[in-house]
Amino acid sequence: MDFHLQASAVRGGTVTVPGDKSISHRALMLGSLAEGTSSITGFLAGEDCLSTLQALRDLGVRIEQHDVTSLTVHGVGLRGLNAPRGDLDMGNSGTAMRLFCGVLAGQGFDSRLVGDESLSGRPMNRVILPLAAMGARIESQDGKPPLSVHGQASLRGIDYEMPVASAQVKSCVLLAGLYAEQPTSVFEPAVTRDHTERMFGTMGVEVTATEGWIGIEPGQTLTATDIEVPGDLSSAAFIILAVLLAESAEASITGVGINPTRTGVIDILRAMGADISLENPRELGREPVADLRVRSSRLRGIEVDPALVSLAIDEFPVLFVAAAAAQGRTVFTGIGELRVKESDRIGAMAAGLRTLGVLVDESPDGAIVHGGAFTGGEIQCFSDHRIAMAFAVAGTIASADVVIRNVDAVDTSFPGFADLLSRLGARISVRVGEPST
């Protein structure tokens, strides 16, 4: 499947975006490990989260799906999972694989986690090493999936200093800490998203946070609750950018999660001159939510503060396109983590922007993007959903047609993306894939 885009007048309007992917994963997992029955509304029915749902069913959890976004999870408690009959398929989801490692390390049975070609190339030692220190045994292919997890009935608590800030690693270790006999804590060198800690709190697990250390005490259990998933800011970022780059547009994106560990993209875009305001602030559970008001803006290049990197780690494809459309140059540093996402996102964005006539200077952990105008061209997105959507937004203001190849992965996080962009005025069509020229 390909996206074909022509320059168009994005008008704006009032829209909603799919539920938050990170929160949807955690709602399923923690609801399954809780005592009692949890209801989930606003669930993201993208392929990544559906992989988590199926894996939990394969582990014996009864989950009812009432409609696309509403579920009931009948929790089995921390010790109620059953040994799966076959491999647990994580699809393309690094979040699912890393978090499941933490859960399965404390079970009394063995399991095997597999994924697609992209996921099978992603590094997993970042969770294997701390889990090994807790007493788990995980076999891998040179630190990459498939992973064979040999569960232990109980684990050792540890104090783990992450070498690289990662919400997935932090969450993995904290989940394993539920099965530990001693306290468990994780030090993060930079602030990362805290959805796991917030959801722990709503389910009765006390979490401490002191000078970068996040910890839990042993012997705690999860209590079922009702979870309303807010709109995903990472998905909203593409709509925000499309409106910002338009000539004269305004949009309201309602019910979006604005967790402060996630709002780096808003801070960076505002520093570039973006007109973005937060309206009607409120909370869903312990997650802050607001409606985002966005107006067309002329962006300028900046040096992005490295301290904001961990707060915008999934939004850098959006920021690369923003930088390419801005006046002047934008400097990104400290973003080497992007090279081991669903694709090498620094390399993929640099290559795609060059195809569209934008000058990019690339380095191992950063890039300098020289703002200008987009020409047309054919983009390879390397089966990376965020690369595909970022270049779709670029295509709305390109001087010639933009074709983005093999965009099927967009459904992992933003089902209906093309339809929503079209409703805002973009000239985007979805076509069956054609041979590359």
What is the per-residue pLDDT across 48-59, written as a single tens digit (0 to 9) for each? 999 999 999 999
Convert the pLDDT of each residue in 123-138 to its tens digit: 999 999 999 999 999 9
The answer on 59 and 14 residing in a single domain is no
190 exposed, middle or buried (CB, 10 Å; 0-12, 13-18, 19+)? middle
Q: Which of the four pLDDT bands, split at 50, 70 and 90, describes residue 252? A: very high
The answer on 189 and 101 residing in a single domain is yes
The answer on 247 and 103 residing in a single domain is no
- Decide which of 197, 228, 259 is a domain's last residue: 228
**pLDDT number for residue 7:** 87
Convert the pLDDT of each residue in 283-312 to its tens digit: 998 999 999 999 999 999 999 999 999 999
Query: Is residue 60 assigned to a domain?
Result: yes
**pLDDT number for residue 372:** 92
**pLDDT number for residue 341:** 87
Residue 116 has pLDDT above 60, yes or no: yes
**pLDDT number for residue 433:** 63
CATH number reported for the structural domain that contains residue 14 in this entry: 3.65.10.10
Query: Is residue 301 assigned to a domain?
Result: yes
Per the structure, the complete domain to which residue 370 belongs is given by 2-19+230-431
CA separation (Å) from 392 to 176, 193, 323, 386?
A: 39, 27, 15, 10
Predicted TM-score (pTM) of this structure: 0.92
The answer on 294 and 183 residing in a single domain is no
Residue 41 has pLDDT above 90, yes or no: yes
**pLDDT number for residue 434:** 55
H/E element holding 57? helix 47-58
The answer on 380 and 241 residing in a single domain is yes
As a whole number of angstroms, the distance between CA 437 and CA 425 comes to 28
Mean pLDDT, to the nearest integer, of 71-81? 98
On whether the CB atoms of residues 422 and 30 are closer than 8 A, the answer is no
Name which of 291, 339, 294, 287 is nearest 313 in CA terms. Answer: 339
Quote the longest CA-to-CA distance of the chain: 62
Query: Is residue 385 assigned to a domain?
Result: yes
The answer on 257 and 194 residing in a single domain is no
Residue 437 has pLDDT above 50, yes or no: no
Residue 435 has pLDDT above 80, yes or no: no
Q: For the chain, what is the mean pLDDT?
A: 96
The answer on 201 and 310 residing in a single domain is no
Strands 37-41, 366-370: pairing is unpaired
Query: Is residue 238 assigned to a domain?
Result: yes
Higher pLDDT, 36 or 118: 36
The answer on 359 and 235 residing in a single domain is yes
Q: Which two tokens stand for residue 215?
A: 């910890």
- Decide which of 195, 228, 261 is a domain's last residue: 228
Q: How many domains does the chain have?
A: 2
On whether the CB atoms of residues 307 and 260 are closer than 8 A, the answer is no
Higher pLDDT, 173 or 435: 173
Q: Which residues are catalytic?
A: 314
Residue 67 has pLDDT above 70, yes or no: yes
Strand, coil or helix: what is 313?
coil
**pLDDT number for residue 436:** 43
The answer on 307 and 217 residing in a single domain is no
Convert the pLDDT of each residue in 204-237 to its tens digit: 999 999 999 999 999 999 999 999 999 999 999 9
Query: Is residue 436 assigned to a domain?
Result: no
- Decide which of 198, 228, 258 is a domain's last residue: 228
Query: Is residue 352 assigned to a domain?
Result: yes
The answer on 174 and 72 residing in a single domain is yes
Query: Is residue 437 assigned to a domain?
Result: no
Give backbone dihedrals phi and psi of 117, rounded to 5 degrees, phi first. -60, -40
The answer on 402 and 390 residing in a single domain is yes
CB neighbour list of residue 166: distance below 8 Å, 6 or more residues apart? 126, 188, 192, 337
The answer on 246 and 207 residing in a single domain is no
Query: Is residue 180 assigned to a domain?
Result: yes
Mean pLDDT, to the nearest integer, of 141-160? 96
Mean pLDDT, to the nearest integer, of 15-27? 97
